[in-house]
Amino acid sequence: MKKSKNKEIILCAINNILSGSCNEDCKFCTQSVRYKADIERYRFKSIEQIVEEARIAHSQGALGYCLVTAGKGLDDKKTEYVAEAARSVKKALPGLNIIACNGTASLEQLRYLKESGVDSYNHNLETSENYYKEICTTHPWSERYQTCLNAKEAGLSLCTGGIFGMGESEEDRNALLEAIVSLEPVSTPLNFFHPNPALPIKGSDITKEEAIAIIKKARAMLGDERLLMVAGGRELMFGGDERAMFEAGANSMVIGNYLTTSGENPSKDIEMIERIGYTIARDCERA
């Protein structure tokens, strides 16, 4: 999806269709089994439920619908499952932009997802290449970058961003943004670390002022035609002051729940957006 008209906010929704079964050691992620976080864990949500939840998200204004699976990446079973979910959602809601977020993936797997109705692939770089080893040791940052390249080669719109507030330096934040820009993504989600007592990272070290500066810098570096989304951690960072993040350059946000944390009621978010003088985008050009 491309940037909406001025003052229009594009809404996206996330569906965690396979939860809490990841063996990686990413220190920011409650879905890792290593940290035993108190979250809901399940395997392969039913296709019928996924479609119904897509209908609800679409009725609430979501133009993008992201199918997320826990785990390092795709295997044959997971690839077919995501493909089946995409086909079913696309059949029920042809105009909904389907995003897949399933970890590292090969060119062949991504081409198959595209053939099955997936429009975009989300794979976040998370942080700078230099700092990545401090938050994950079970797979390298280079695998993430390569998956982003694979998504583009497969003809999918690339969605890639990262998480801020995990103890990284300002230099790391700038390096992450530079890496994102080098990939020329269609959309970029900016996440702000959401602490959980089970995780090795115990708190976010980022202020709202720093978050606003990051959004401004991302907008300047990415240009006006890119979708810039504030995603995870929005309520903690901006709850009650979303106007600031839109004025800084964000033009998209997630509604509803996140992967393992609860979000605001979508009706309240929509009321908030309209109250502060913005409108909900009802359609947008698909990249």
Domain boundaries, the chain: 11-280
Q: 19-23, 84-88, 253-257: which has the minimum mean pLDDT? A: 19-23
Reported as a pLDDT band with limits 50, 70 and 90, residue 3 is very low
Cα of 50 vs its chain's centroid, Å: 18
Which CATH number is 11-280's, of 3.40.980.10, 3.30.420.40, 3.40.390.10, 3.20.20.70? 3.20.20.70
* pLDDT number for residue 33: 86
Average pLDDT over residues 189-198: 92
Residue in this structure with the two tokens 């908030």, named with its chain if needed? 272
Neighbours of 262 (CB within 10 A): 9
Closest by CA position to 189, among listed 238, 253, 145, 141: 253
Reported as a pLDDT band with limits 50, 70 and 90, residue 265 is confident
In one letter, which amino acid is 208? K
Q: Supply the pTM of this predicted model.
A: 0.94
More confident residue, 143 or 2: 143
The mean of the pLDDT values for the chain is: 91
Say if residue 2's pLDDT is above 50.
no
Cα-atom radius of gyration of the chain, to the nearest Å? Answer: 17
How many angstroms separate the Cα of 269 from the Cα of each of 109, 264, 265?
35, 7, 7
Tell me the per-residue pLDDT of 21-79, one tens digit each, with 9 for 90 and over. Answer: 888 889 988 878 888 787 787 789 999 999 999 999 999 999 999 999 988 999 999 99
Average pLDDT over residues 99-120: 98
* pLDDT number for residue 285: 56
Tell me the per-residue pLDDT of 197-248, one tens digit each, with 9 for 90 and over. Answer: 889 998 778 999 999 999 999 999 999 989 999 998 898 899 889 999 999 9
Cα of 242 vs its chain's centroid, Å: 18
Q: What is the dihedral sign for C-alpha 30, 32, 33, 34?
A: negative
- Quote the DSSP letter at residue 72: S
Measure the CA–CA gap between 13 and 39, rounded to whole angstroms.
19
